[in-house]
Structure 1
Amino acid sequence: MRHVLQELIASVTPTHSTDLGCKACVALAVLFLSCSAMPPAHDEARLTATQPAYSLVFIIHGDGDYLYHDTLGNARRADEDILSKAQAIAARNPNAEVFLFHEIERRHVLFLIPRRDGHAYYYRNGRLVAQKSYWRDQGASRFDPEVRLYEQFAATQPRPPLLFFFYFGHEIPEFNGAGYDASYSKRRVTIDDLAEGVKSFVADSTKIDVLALATCFGGTPYTIGALAPYARYIIASPDNLHLSYFDLEPLASLDAGSGDNEVAGFADRFARNAFEQLANEVQTTVSVVVYDVNGVGDFIDSVAGVYDRTVTAANRMSTASVEHCDCADDSAYALPGMSDGLTVFYRAPRFGRGKYKPDHSGWECWRIAE
């Protein structure tokens, strides 16, 4: 009951015409809330007694077309599937604190009154200790609302030694970015916005230990280069990646230490699990790559000039005029050392022209279509 009433208060923005009705609703809600049970003091003490060893941050983008049909023909939403999986993992892990941010399409009550279009959940030691609905347009930069809530939830607790960050959504554009958020027609979102948000999540000198980008075409020199200053290891796909199949099971019982070998080992296991689940479920290309940030800088720097020029040209063209390609298939990018720092898991598609491609460099680039 407490949760339902909080949602009622939080979701409605009163107008002049509804002011009296809203005040009455709020007054009634407050009356019920004053009678609601509060968490017992000994439960709160137990939550703070055991310090989590890990922080897990999930941003799940749902403000777009995420509808798909499963093998039985049932209509499903990929973002809601991932949210359910992440919540189950958060409830099963007694050694982690988990921050979940679900960005949804903006809706209206009676077609007039806007409702909040973000939901945040904070789990600690396997228990949900806070949740809140929020507005996604209240900030100077794209991810300011999530950063503020992250700081609010975590303010009273010491930070665990390991931080993992997961972004689930459609391909984040490297240029243009119009229409990424369906509810905000005038907003442009690019990978630079995500990089700025990630930077805010690690405002001090620390780095994210593992950053997983569960989107299509995330493994490009520009995208990895934009995120690299804020992470030790990045997991991404240089090709298509259906986010609803991304395997979160390794997060239920984390056993990684903070040493480089231990973090690298976890990143490899997590990527392999995701790859194997995808390979069992889909017939299209499957590619998941671990990027060791300390090992990929030379290649990113060496192709930055030609890549930037291609992106600049692509920004002036129609989408039909440019295409993705394996960087190794373009002589401008196929340079010695391009595989340094990469662990590549790849399977060719079961059909089409690409079924005969035996391997992948782990890097995806843009080229002008012939």
Structure 2
Amino acid sequence: MIVIRNLIFCLIIAGIFFAGCSSTNELVKNDVSDQPVKYSVIYYIHADAGYLYHDPDGQPIRANSQVLETALEVAENAASGEVFIFYQRPEKKFLGLFPRKSNQFYHYTNGQKTTQVKYRHSNKKEPFLTTEAQLYNKYKNDITGNDQEQYFLYFGHEIPSDNGEGYHRTLPDIEVNTASFAGGVQQFLMEDDQILDLVVLSTCNNGTPAMASHLMPFVDHLLASPQNLHLSHIDTEQLGLLESNPGVSPDEVAHSLANDTFQRLEDQIQTTITLAEYDFESMRGYIDELDDRTASYKDTARIDPYHQNTDCGQFSFFDAEKYTQGIETWFKPAKFGRRATASDTHSGWGCRPLLED
């Protein structure tokens, strides 16, 4: 009996040691430079799901690990910027009982790593991105230059239009959907008049009227895929333009990211490739109308919610002249299969397809 008591006591002590009362653990904490930062980049890399794919040579690649490597390189080269990297991994427990801090947060200022934190989500039902936004607002540099530009990049699976429970394998009660994503991203903005110059969605099927409508109040530009990214990801090496060309615009950054990604995918895959950049200022006059029309069509037509998006431009409600203003697309149709098409253009908007008879 004494042996059992001692064992239980040791387990409790070990659990306290590994889990601790705090949900964070600072691994690195250095002084922040007093040099103003000219731009900030926020990466959120979702790794609490399957992101394994194979390259053309059949070699297995974990997309989330590859994105993290690139993000760290971008951060180290951001001599005049500030970079935040959230790497959300599966949350685990020590001995199956005590929660561990599995996630990683990296903070770089002027190319130097100032903070590295292991963290966990203490509230398993919190609104999406709450913990990450709190860490961002705690550690961000308050010394900023005039007209500092802000970029937010999200890497993960498709963000569902609604519901969204189970998106995280180990945090199934955190709802991830279009509305909760937009609300979560907005938590990174401290003031009502702050905006994000560019949001990049490296996900499938999220170049939609609904996503644009939700982000438009606090975002200027969006880069996303209206259809499938094939477990690949948007390349971000071109964020180096923020250093090599300090006057570069968010539109030019988005264009460079899309070009790099499209060229790589064009060499690697034979299926449909679709990327689109959305200039929200140019579409404020019609986005709510388009969102309403797609929602109404979804409610009245026989939509297949379980298949990948198709081009909204094929539906009768779509006014191509009106609803493509402010969009630049990178499109290559599939060369074979059911999705092969003779069209070499795309509206830039993704909609769920009709059910097949």
TM-score (structure 1 length as normaliser): 0.82
Name which of structure 1's ranges 261-270 and 192-201 shifts more when overlaid on structure 2. Answer: 261-270
Note if 1:18 corresponds to 2:11: yes
Computed over aligned residues only, the root mean square deviation of the Cα atoms, in angstroms, reads 3.0
Q: CA, structure 1 residues 281+93, in 2 after alignment: closer, same or farther (shift >3 Å)?
A: farther
Q: CA, structure 1 residues 178+352, in 2 after alignment: closer, same or farther (shift >3 Å)?
A: same
**Could you tell me how far apart the structure 2 residues matched to 1:99 and 1:207 are?**
17
Q: CA, structure 1 residues 108+71, in 2 after alignment: closer, same or farther (shift >3 Å)?
A: farther
Residue 288 of structure 1 aligns to a residue whose secondary structure is strand
Residue 265 of structure 1 aligns to a residue whose secondary structure is helix
| Matching residue within 65, 74, 78 for 2:63 | 78
Name which of structure 1's ranges 146-155 and 175-184 shifts more when overlaid on structure 2. Answer: 175-184
Deviation of 1:219 (Å): 0.8
Residues matched between the structures, number: 339
2:198 counterpart residue number? 210
Name which of structure 1's ranges 322-331 and 248-257 shifts more when overlaid on structure 2. Answer: 248-257
Correspondences of 1:170-185 after superposition (within 5 Å): 170-185=157-172
Amino acid across the alignment from 1:77 = R
| Matching residue within 340, 344, 351 for 2:336 | 351
1:10 counterpart residue number? none
1:93 counterpart residue number? 78
Residue 176 of structure 1 aligns to a residue whose secondary structure is coil
**Structure with the greater relative contact order (CA < 8 A, sep ≥ 6): 1 or 2?**
2
Q: CA, structure 1 residues 153+352, in 2 after alignment: closer, same or farther (shift >3 Å)?
A: same
| Matching residue within 229, 232, 237 for 2:225 | 237
1:127 counterpart residue number? 112
**Could you tell me how far apart the structure 1 residues matched to 2:28 and 2:201 are?**
39
1:297 counterpart residue number? 284
Amino acid across the alignment from 1:342 = I
2:310 counterpart residue number? 325
Note if 1:247 corresponds to 2:235: yes
1:93–1:125 CA contact under 8 A, matched in 2: yes
**Could you tell me how far apart the structure 2 residues matched to 1:117 and 1:327 are?**
40
Amino acid across the alignment from 1:53 = K
**Could you tell me how far apart the structure 2 residues matched to 1:201 and 1:129 are?**
19
**Could you tell me how far apart the structure 1 residues matched to 2:67 and 2:129 are?**
19
1:311-347 Cα offsets, whole Å, 9 max, x none, are 5579x98744x66221110012235311100111111
Deviation of 1:121 (Å): 0.5
Residue 144 of structure 2 aligns to a residue whose secondary structure is coil
**Could you tell me how far apart the structure 1 residues matched to 2:14 and 2:295 are?**
55
Name which of structure 1's ranges 302-311 and 333-342 shifts more when overlaid on structure 2. Answer: 302-311
2:213–2:287 CA contact under 8 A, matched in 1: yes
1:286-307 Cα offsets, whole Å, 9 max, x none, are 1111100011223322223232
Residue 336 of structure 1 aligns to a residue whose secondary structure is helix
Structure with bigger helix share is 1
| Matching residue within 114, 125, 128 for 1:142 | 128
2:23 counterpart residue number? none
2:138 counterpart residue number? 152
1:114 counterpart residue number? 99
**Could you tell me how far apart the structure 1 residues matched to 2:115 and 2:204 are?**
31
Deviation of 1:283 (Å): 2.0
2:34–2:143 CA contact under 8 A, matched in 1: no
**Could you tell me how far apart the structure 2 residues matched to 1:53 and 1:91 are?**
15
1:307 counterpart residue number? 294
Q: CA, structure 1 residues 188+48, in 2 after alignment: closer, same or farther (shift >3 Å)?
A: closer
| Matching residue within 29, 51, 76 for 2:36 | 51
Unpaired segments ≥5 residues, structure 2: 1-7, 21-25
Deviation of 1:19 (Å): 3.0
2:252 counterpart residue number? 265
Deviation of 1:229 (Å): 1.2
1:224 counterpart residue number? 212
TM-score (structure 2 length as normaliser): 0.84
Unpaired segments ≥5 residues, structure 1: 1-14, 28-32
Note if 1:287 corresponds to 2:280: no
**Could you tell me how far apart the structure 2 residues matched to 1:208 and 1:99 are?**
14
2:303–2:352 CA contact under 8 A, matched in 1: no
Deviation of 1:116 (Å): 2.2
